[in-house]
Amino acid sequence: MAAQQNHTAHRLLARYRIRPTKRLGQNFLVNRGVLEKIVRAVAPEAGERLLEIGPGLGTLTRLLAMAGAHVTAIEADRRMVELLEAELGGRPNVRIVYGDILEVDLDALIPTPRWRAVGNIPYNISSPILFLLRDQRQLFSEAILMLQKEVAERLTARVGTKEYGLLTIGLGAVGTCERIFDVAPGSFWPPPKVTSSIVRLRFPELPPYPMLDLAAFTRVVRAAFGKRRKTIRNALVMAAAEGQYGFTPTPRAIDVALSTAGIDPVLRPETVTIAHFAALTGALAT
Ligand code: SAH
């Protein structure tokens, strides 16, 4: 089964004379079983609008469209766009857009929010894509993404573990993340060096911290993690003294805010919960 799909992917690549480009993070999913599992995880409703990031050869695009979704797929590789237009362009519920997901005008692309985002995304830009989706969450209710397992573990990390950090807190402050299943390197061509995971990010209409000023929160969290092995108090004071991350409160203001937020100043930042970082952000603002 997998071999047959591999053959299909190879045939498409050969027919269009395309060699996968490392720079664009091109690892194409060739395992039919995994593709079907992703479609089941997405479970598109008939007529639902999806944004697919990095459709590549269009294998997932095709299955999502066959499941009844209206797919807008944004692809940065001209050669892929030509292939996609030829293979799928005739379908009324598939729209191919040539562009860079990090540069495109998403408001223009998505006139009727909120859509869901889907994609086996390029791993070299997965963090910027995750933060982009977060910051554009007025457009997206959910994202189902293929990521490096290591990134998926950071997204779903528990407080106090070594995976817990900027990604966990930055995304956890506005939604939830669930690792659905793992995918072995052999399911791709060419195979990546790492295991992958499918994750589901949800950006609920009512976010976990409705009053949170996300820009201020980001400055606080960056300042706290700027010096990883320091206590949270010392990390914040040092970041403020150096004027890093636009974080500028006085040592006194930091001490008062830590106390107001109920955070023990000698804790390491990786042991401070998202709720406490949110409380600290609020306390620093007053
Ligand atoms: N979804 C396909 C392809 C995954 S490979 C599959 O599962 O087989 C990642 C895809 O993202 C490639 O097609 C690559 O060209 C595309 N890509 C890379 N950088 C991109 C960017 N900045 N914006 C949009 N697409 C990008």
Could you tell me if 275 and 211 are in contact, meaning their C-beta atoms sit under 8 angstroms apart?
A: no
pTM of the shown model: 0.95
Cα of 280 from ligand 1 centre, angstroms: 38
Residues within 6 Å of ligand 1 by CB: 24-29, 53-57, 59-60, 74-77, 80, 100-102, 120, 122, 125
Helix H or strand E encompassing 148: strand 140-148
Q: Which residue(s) pair with 95 in the sheet? A: 72
Encode pLDDT of 82-130 as tens digits.
999 999 999 999 999 999 999 999 999 999 999 999 999 999 999 999 9
Domain boundaries, the chain: 2-202, 214-285
| Nearest alpha carbon, ligand 1 atom 22 | 100
Encode pLDDT of 41-74 as tens digits.
999 999 999 999 999 999 999 999 999 999 999 9
Pairing between β-strand 28-29 and β-strand 188-189 as defined by DSSP bridges: antiparallel
Q: Say if domain 2-202 classifies as CATH 3.40.50.150.
A: yes
CA dihedral 252, 256, 262, 266 (to 10 degrees): 10
Position 1 pLDDT exceeds 50: no
Cα of 125 from ligand 1 centre, angstroms: 10
- With vertex at residue 169, the alpha carbon angle to CA 167 and CA 171, rounded to the nearest 5 degrees, is 65
CATH class of the domain defined by 214-285? mainly alpha
Encode pLDDT of 267-286 as tens digits.
999 999 999 999 999 999 98
DSSP string, 194-231: S-EEEEEEE--SS-SSTT--HHHHHHHHHHHHHSTTS-
Pairing between β-strand 140-148 and β-strand 196-202 as defined by DSSP bridges: antiparallel
Q: Determine the Cα–Cα distance for residues 63 and 180; give it in Å rounded to an integer.
A: 19
Could you tell me if 237 and 254 are in contact, meaning their C-beta atoms sit under 8 angstroms apart?
A: yes
Encode pLDDT of 119-159 as tens digits.
999 999 999 999 999 999 999 999 999 999 999 999 999 99
What is the per-residue pLDDT for 3? 47
